[in-house]
Amino acid sequence: MTKFAEIAVALPIDKLFQYKIPEELYNDVKIGVRVFVPFGPRTIVGYVVGLNDSAEVANIKEIKNVIDKQPVVNDEMLSLAKWISENYFCSWGEAIGATIPGGIKKGKESIGSRIKIPEVRPEDLIMTDPHVLMEEQKWALDEIVRSIDKNEFRTYLLHGITASGKTEVYLQAIDIVLQKGKQAIMLVPEIALTPQTIERFVSRFGHRVAVIHSHLTPAKRFLEWKKIKDGKADIVVGARSAIFSPMSKLGLIIIDEEHETTYKQDDVPRYNARDVAEERARMNKCPLILGSATPSLESYYKAKHGDYKLIRITKRIEDRLLPKMKIVDMRMDLATRKKITIFSKVLLDAMEKALNAGKQVIIFLNRRGFSTFINCKKCGLVIKCKRCDVTMVYHYEEKRLVCHYCNYHQAPPDICPKCKSGYIKYFGLGTEKVESELSRMFPNIKIARMDSDTTVKKGSHDRILEKFRSGAVNVLVGTQMIAKGLDFPQVTLVGVVSADVTLNIPDFRSSERTFNLLTQVGGRAGRGEDGGEVIVQTYAPDHYSILAAAKHDYDKFYNEEIISRKELLFPPFTNLVKVVVRARNDDLTRQAAQALAEALRAKDRDAMIAGPAPAPMARVRGYYRYNILLKGRDKKAMCALLKKVLSVHRKPHGVLVAVDVDPISM
């Protein structure tokens, strides 16, 4: 008779707890159900992960109540959660919590949605037939079907430029999986979960499609989850958390835009859905397709070394042309016009021409609030850390430049150390300024701006795009929010105000981001009959990420970038683990971070440990934050070192420590 239960709790405690099962609950306590248990002075929710006949401790407490009649997590999800806890530095209970919808965890109402996802009713359904595949699409599908037929785990990297027909390959692969009586999950970045994407799936597969995204209310989310759990959906299309869809006959997982950083969760458990998908595909003996026009360096490296099978689609459907990309050297613009301006003459002329012809224009500036770098407008120099090759960040309070990886400091120069000019300036331009400059210069045109400031209100996102689509607005100014997926045939010109904003964010992935963003943003131009042009302004016109993007040449970019990753020992040659120390007092935080870094170094003299250094957002919601960065080839060994040190290390009262494995930013 099982009388005791092993309980995992959703707290950062790396162990299980044993509780006694009261007689009246003998039949109800099963593996995978949630229970209420006394925990110190509180009552909390726990997950039953094991049952025993005997107790290991005396004075054992009793389970208070059972919440679920049926298990909310099955064996597969329990194993997957276990894997997450071992790889992303969290407890098993915290990881289990991530696999079930938030609505049933707490039952709280969520914040309202910004993007309205239409509900498809049966009478709206117009079914569409599959396309006859082009040659390269067919090769891609044949490869994947081989793994489907063999029930084999294998990861495919599908590298194809935008509009090369990747999604059509996904749809037909899913169709084959369904014919075999199996199911499929397709992850897309949140921002790509547009009504068009969903309609494309629903019009091919009808009501066997479930959709999971963060704008669902908890109740809706729960209904979709239940539909999947009850076997009433065979295809799930969703954002990151959809990787935990409780399907019992999984036969295929697809991750579109696999390079997207939104697949990484920035809260506990800090998993990357791309890696979780790989583990889940392995457990289910099924293929995983990673698709992208600009694969992550990590994935392309694995494909080149045979860990993944690389499939390429090199041609666009109907041989549609890629837009022409022109690079404008802002140093030259300054030299000829003798003043620092937001818009070069080239971009101004092109805008005038497009607007006079009645066309639409997109102006892009990815200005992130905290990345203030110093840039010489004459020669283009940006000051970088000697040790890390990442951009130094200007800190107002101390009036110093700081490296956010290793904490190297230096005074900001008054004249450029390279060309000795006095045109060395802080880069402080944002979309709001761009908008006001534009309306001053073009008083008769209608301008709309889309960034996180203008889309706070529910529905505002849709309203802005609708105005642009209808032609009521001539110029759309925006951040990366407008880089993806938008399809406006009247747009013939895309202007990138400064490629340098992304290039100079203090991050080792800044070149990769720049290449991705330019490629995506460029894809917004010339989608109609009239073709299009992309104009990219920069003070670094010779940078390989900009040159390669202008030539639409991913391999050229990869071949340069991989050399610098290797030299500086960044991923894919190492794994990173970021330790964030935070507290309400600056001195206290810095000292605590220093003490922790020293304790780590004392335990392992060979470990590569950098910092502490102030975080890029050094102060968030009243907390000061310092980062310690561990670099190494063995992720598990680094986690083990951290666990060991953190379990004995005494930190001052009020100091909090968070650990992020494979962080996507500092």
| Residue 85 Cβ vs ligand ADP, minimum distance, rounded to whole Å | 35
Measured from the Cβ of residue 655, the count of other Cβ atoms closer than 10 Å reads 18
Among Zn ion, ligand ADP, none, residue 374 binds (CB under 5-8 Å by kind): none
The SS3 assignment for 406 reads coil
Among ligand ADP, Zn ion, none, residue 353 binds (CB under 5-8 Å by kind): none
**Between 409 and 551, whose beta carbon lies closer to Zn ion?**
409
**Between 36 and 408, whose beta carbon lies closer to Zn ion?**
408
Among 163, 382, 608, 646, indicate the residue that binds ligand ADP (CB under 6 A).
163
Among 104, 133, 562, 656, indicate the residue that binds ligand ADP (CB under 6 A).
133
**Non-local CB neighbours of 244 within 8 Å, separated by 6+ positions:** 77, 80, 98, 99, 100, 276
Q: Which residues pair with 535 in a beta bridge?
A: 326, 495
Rg over alpha carbons for the chain, rounded to the nearest Å, is 26
What is the Cβ-side half-sphere exposure of residue 501, based on CA atoms within 13 angstroms?
22
Instruction: DSSP letter for 378, please.
Output: T
Among 381, 496, 501, 517, indicate the residue that binds Zn ion (CB under 5 A).
381
Judged by CB under 5 A, the number of residues near Zn ion is 15
Q: Which stretch binds ligand ADP (CB under 6 A): 159-167, 431-439, 492-500, 531-539?
A: 159-167
Residue 180 has φ and ψ, to the nearest 5°, of: -90, 10
Nearest to 393 by CA among 368, 376, 371: 371
Left, alpha or beta for 478 (phi > 0: left; psi -120 to 50: alpha)? Answer: beta
| Residue 1 Cβ vs ligand ADP, minimum distance, rounded to whole Å | 56
The SS3 assignment for 326 reads strand
Nearest to 134 by CA among 312, 318, 290: 318
Q: Which of residues 300-359 bind ligand ADP (CB under 6 A)?
A: 317
Interaction between residue 162 and ligand ADP (CB under 6 A): yes
Among ligand ADP, Zn ion, none, residue 163 binds (CB under 5-8 Å by kind): ligand ADP
Strands (E), 366-446: 374-376, 393-395, 400-402, 409-410, 424-426
| 481, 451 Cβ separation under 8 angstroms | yes
Q: Which stretch binds ligand ADP (CB under 6 A): 126-134, 247-255, 345-353, 633-641?
A: 126-134
Interaction between residue 376 and Zn ion (CB under 5 A): yes
The SS3 assignment for 516 reads helix
Interaction between residue 387 and Zn ion (CB under 5 A): yes
Interaction between residue 613 and Zn ion (CB under 5 A): no
Q: Which stretch binds ligand ADP (CB under 6 A): 166-174, 379-387, 512-520, 532-540?
A: 166-174
Among 277, 361, 403, 546, indicate the residue that binds Zn ion (CB under 5 A).
403
Q: Which stretch binds ligand ADP (CB under 6 A): 39-47, 160-168, 351-359, 425-433?
A: 160-168
Q: Which amino acid is at 455?
A: T
CA distance 386 to 214: 41
**Between 104 and 133, whose beta carbon lies closer to ligand ADP?**
133
State in Å, rounded, how far the first CA of the chain is from the last one.
51
CA distance 67 to 49: 14
**Between 167 and 510, whose beta carbon lies closer to ligand ADP?**
167
Among Zn ion, ligand ADP, none, residue 131 binds (CB under 5-8 Å by kind): ligand ADP
| Residue 160 Cβ vs ligand ADP, minimum distance, rounded to whole Å | 5
| 404, 615 Cβ separation under 8 angstroms | yes
| Residue 247 Cβ vs ligand ADP, minimum distance, rounded to whole Å | 23
Among ligand ADP, Zn ion, none, residue 296 binds (CB under 5-8 Å by kind): none
Q: Which residues pair with 583 in a beta bridge?
A: 624
| Residue 417 Cβ vs Zn ion, minimum distance, rounded to whole Å | 8
Interaction between residue 385 and Zn ion (CB under 5 A): yes
Residue 265, exposed/middle/buried by CB under 10 A (0-12, 13-18, 19+)?
Answer: middle
**Between 5 and 193, whose beta carbon lies closer to ligand ADP?**
193
| Residue 128 Cβ vs ligand ADP, minimum distance, rounded to whole Å | 8
Residue 133 has φ and ψ, to the nearest 5°, of: -70, 145
Q: Which residues pair with 288 in a beta bridge?
A: 155, 253
| Residue 302 Cβ vs ligand ADP, minimum distance, rounded to whole Å | 21
Site map 382..421 versus ligand ADP, x via CB under 6 A: ----------------------------------------
Q: Which stretch binds ligand ADP (CB under 6 A): 158-166, 222-230, 272-280, 576-584?
A: 158-166
Among 388, 482, 540, 655, indicate the residue that binds Zn ion (CB under 5 A).
388
CA distance 549 to 35: 54
Q: Give the containing element (helix H, strand E) for 450.
A: strand 447-450
What one-character-per-residue DSSP string does 164-187 give? SSHHHHHHHHHHHHHHTT-EEEEE
| Residue 163 Cβ vs ligand ADP, minimum distance, rounded to whole Å | 4
Q: Which stretch binds ligand ADP (CB under 6 A): 125-133, 525-533, 591-599, 625-633?
A: 125-133
Residue 38 has φ and ψ, to the nearest 5°, of: -70, 135
Interaction between residue 576 and Zn ion (CB under 5 A): no
List Cα–Cα distances, 181 to 152, 198, 205, in angstroms. Answer: 16, 22, 14
Site map 168..207 versus ligand ADP, x via CB under 6 A: x---------------------------------------
Query: Alpha helix locations (H) across 554-613?
Result: 554-567, 586-603
Among Zn ion, ligand ADP, none, residue 406 binds (CB under 5-8 Å by kind): Zn ion
Among ligand ADP, Zn ion, none, residue 288 binds (CB under 5-8 Å by kind): none
Residue 97 has φ and ψ, to the nearest 5°, of: -55, -35
Among 97, 101, 103, 160, indicate the residue that binds ligand ADP (CB under 6 A).
160
Among Zn ion, ligand ADP, none, residue 408 binds (CB under 5-8 Å by kind): Zn ion
| 488, 468 Cβ separation under 8 angstroms | yes
Among ligand ADP, Zn ion, none, residue 168 binds (CB under 5-8 Å by kind): ligand ADP
CA distance 13 to 189: 31
Interaction between residue 402 and Zn ion (CB under 5 A): no
Q: How far is CA 239 from the centre of its chain?
A: 10
Site map 266..305 versus ligand ADP, x via CB under 6 A: ----------------------------------------
The SS3 assignment for 324 reads strand
CA distance 597 to 609: 8
Residue 535, exposed/middle/buried by CB under 10 A (0-12, 13-18, 19+)?
Answer: buried
**Between 230 and 318, whose beta carbon lies closer to ligand ADP?**
318
Q: Which stretch binds Zn ion (CB under 5 A): 191-199, 225-233, 383-391, 555-563?
A: 383-391
| 608, 632 Cβ separation under 8 angstroms | yes
Which residues contact ligand ADP (rule: CB under 6 A)?
A: 131-134, 137, 160, 162-168, 317
Which residues contact Zn ion (rule: CB under 5 A)?
A: 376, 378-379, 381, 385, 387-388, 403, 405-406, 408, 416, 418-419, 421
